Structure 1
Amino acid sequence: MATKKNQLLSKKVFALHTDDQLEASEHVLSKIKTKDKLSAKTIFKRKDGSVFTAKVTPCKYMIGGKPIVHVYIEDLTEGLNILQELEKRSQAISSSMDGISMLNSDGEFEYMNDAFANIYDYNSPDELLNKTWKLLYRDSDTRFFESNVLPEIVKEGRWRGETVGKRKNGSIFPQEVSLSRTADGRMICVVRDIIERKEYQQKIEQALQEKKTLLKEVHHRVKNNLSIVSSLLELKKHEPVDSVEELIEETQSRINSISLIHEKLYQSETLSEVNVRDYIEEFSSIVLTSFNSDQKNITVEKDLQPFNLKTRRAVPLGLIINELLSNAFKHGFDGSNDGHIQITLAVNENEVVLKVSNNGNSLPEDFSIEDRQSMGMTLIKTLTRQLQGTCKVTQNGSTIFEIRFPAVI
């Protein structure tokens, strides 16, 4: 203070206060009679009439049987200016829900905005003011701050990073913290709750991992399907055909059935399952177009229940459907220009039932799918076993192929 020592010695303490602070000053002097030490905030008046806010800490001693009061006065002007500036800034960023606080050199909160208290689930800043920052962290996090963060702030004047905070109810949450030290030893703390950001990052990482896994799976399936094509050609090599053109058409049809599976796969959301109903709808139309002509008028009726199937099981099912439809067109309606094919797909919790029937030429009376050695029937039997299913053929005005297999393996 600018007042010289001898000018102050003759004055009473009340002369240093503004008029509106006299009552508060008397209250402090009254309390010091019963307490050895206390702390209060008050406003002092300088010699030139200007005022300043200060923290007053009077301590009582007994010297020679006489009570002596020693008063420590801390000018809070700079700190209050910082607080006012913080308040302005906190109002500007309140919409972002960033929490702002100021701590004294003892690590106690002197100021905070509502957002700061809300982040930790406290009803108002009053619940945290004059409390230590350690209240908002677990013991392990407190040790981390004391061992790593505080020394860096002393050295660099600031620190920023991610850590874990503790809410009022004890639950923890990820947060981003920015700390900076002021010239008078205080600490400014800005906190942001990043739980939504972390959850989003986790979902992105999980989705990326799923895509990598699915990509490996797709490559694996493509490799297997090429092996299937090679096996189909190998089987056909040992079976007599009327013409090379017929061989190419049959092989092309089988490859198309596999190709369409992958086309549907890439259109699906998961990249791992195919909607069997959509597949049958489209593939049956392709087969119908390829076999029908100006002379033939074969109709296809479908009653299909929606059902998703893993790719590894959709490929053999697609090949089975190809064989059943191709056989119906080529053999069921051989020599006939009109006819009807019906495809049904029924699904329950345990089983999938596929039926393909036609009202064309009947099969021989002694027909047995187990005894038939043609490539088409061999494929149907082999692929049905891959699905861990069964195949049955019945004739009652129409020829009906019924394939049953487990819905889930």
Structure 2
Amino acid sequence: MRIEKEYRHLEGIDEVRIFNAEKKDFYKPTPKEFSVEDIPVQKLINNIPVEIHTLIPYDSGKDFIINGIGNFTLERYGKTQKDAKGRLLSKISPLYFNILYDYLFDVYTSHNTKNIRFVYYNNNKVTKVNTAKIIYDAERIFITVHNVDATVSKRIDTNYRTFDEDKTNLMESFSQTGSYYTLHGKYTWSQGIYNIINRAKEEADEYYNIVFDLAIPEDKHIVDKIFNITNKETAQCEEIIRIKTNDGILKVIEVNIYSYFDESGFIIRQGLINDITMYSDDELTKPVDFLLKGFKNSKKIALLIEPLNRKQYEYSKGFYDIIETDRETYYNSPGIITNIIEKDSAKMLKNLIDRKSTKIDETFTYAVNGNPNNKKILNLYIESFEYNESRHSLGFLTDMTDDMKKQDELVESNEQKLILIKEIHHRVKNNLQVLNSFLNLEKKAYKNDPELIIEHMQTRLNSLALLHEKTYRARDFKNINLKEYLIDHDRQTKNLVDLPVEVEFETYVDEDLNLSVEVMTPLLLIIDELTMNSVKHAFPDKTAPNKKITKEIKKLDNNTAQLIVKDNGVGIKDTSKITKNLGCEIIKSLSRQLGGKISLIETNNGTSYKLIFPIEMTHTI
């Protein structure tokens, strides 16, 4: 549990934020110590909608005796007035006593009324908001409380399109979140918006977007994108932009907007805006961008996130290179099917869009922008699945045009090489299935740490993308030079991973060690897992000098090679625990697939692993 206090100058209110508290934290059963009488208007207090707590100052305000508790609180804890009256606040609720004491004492001594807002969080989600006044009268302290249920769904019901003004009223109770809506071209802004942009309301605010107009020049294109998306039928848009307030403060805000047309054809737009400046780094991005970044340099293969969603889709840059379309003007429409030459393939894609199937894996001829003189051979793989009662999809688009040309050339010269190329594509698909298996395992193991899952997946994607590039350019797919690959791998890992400390990578590989793709794939994933373990756990002391992670790979004989990955970090105090974690299980599984044997090497400092593995494999993973 965590408590935060802050005075909100724009609203003139003290705010208390309470994180992850439980009922037992607020109430402690305590024997009665004092006899107190009901105040003359107790019956009135019990029958008005606002909850009122009554306290009697004790020992010159050092503590307070419970004179009466509001009915809402009593019902919440299943108690009666007899369970609370005549007890000291410090004993019956030490938590509330510590939170409220300074406010209560100030009101007791000054007789000035104080306004307080209580915001309750559970797992960083607002669950309840209370606005309270602390009043001194008749030698007593009265606390009046207005309770607000903050359980609000973000899902828009397109069948019931009447704007719910309660959302705006609720957002006015928040400190870092605001809401707005537009109707007939006029804006209505909640108080939370003014908290974010650091100014009071002005008469002209209903006529323009007072938040987006503050976007810095570098993010104006994102604002244009938001309006472009939300002006098309029913739509939802989630973006992150930076604004500069009129008093010169740079803020990072998260924007969630829902829009639709009413029966008269007028567009109605609802927006939720969250100030996330305190949680943002210098380079802020959405979680999905980490996955897309793994494909940022590829023009031949594209990652497709939500390709079946006409509004909320994210494609890596390669998609726009492949179909030769500008990202800014592209609109995700089923009309793209008309550019597929093979009718059977087009029909299979339409069935997927219409929910008549759940997967497509097709290679077809594609006429770029409908031009019959500009054709490409593409492979499209998309899976559709249900999650949280809604439909989602994930896929890959691969430009195989050059591959197919090379295949035709190889068929003429060597039929065996054509078979090898087909096998390479089959293995790439298998690699993606392996990554999907890892993702499912880590979703269960690290469900409370999605950023860790994304970082692991990004590292693995980078390794396999680099391997795919090497095999793509190689003439002999059975002999990939390991040393050349690992030099590029080290460089890309340093650029990809946000190293918490300065760590030097050293790699030593036999010059003549060449491996096939089927050996390289599990070997590289093992190296990734061991490297990331060292990066995250070996160097807790950022000031320690000469931090190194070393990889040594050498031939033992014509059939066997040895990998040693070691660091000069703090080492492992209890080796029995690491054998049970998910990372260790993944490494052991990959070692078995490789036909190798991995072991932990005893060392005076740091951590060291040794893997003995075959240079050639007779089976496919």
Shorter chain as denominator, the TM-score bin is 0.3 to 0.5
Structure showing the higher helix proportion among its residues = 1
Q: Give me the TM-score of the superposition, normalised by structure 2.
A: 0.31
Q: Give me the TM-score of the superposition, normalised by structure 1.
A: 0.46
Of structures 1 and 2, the one with the larger relative CO (CA 8 A, separation 6+) is 1
Larger radius of gyration: 1
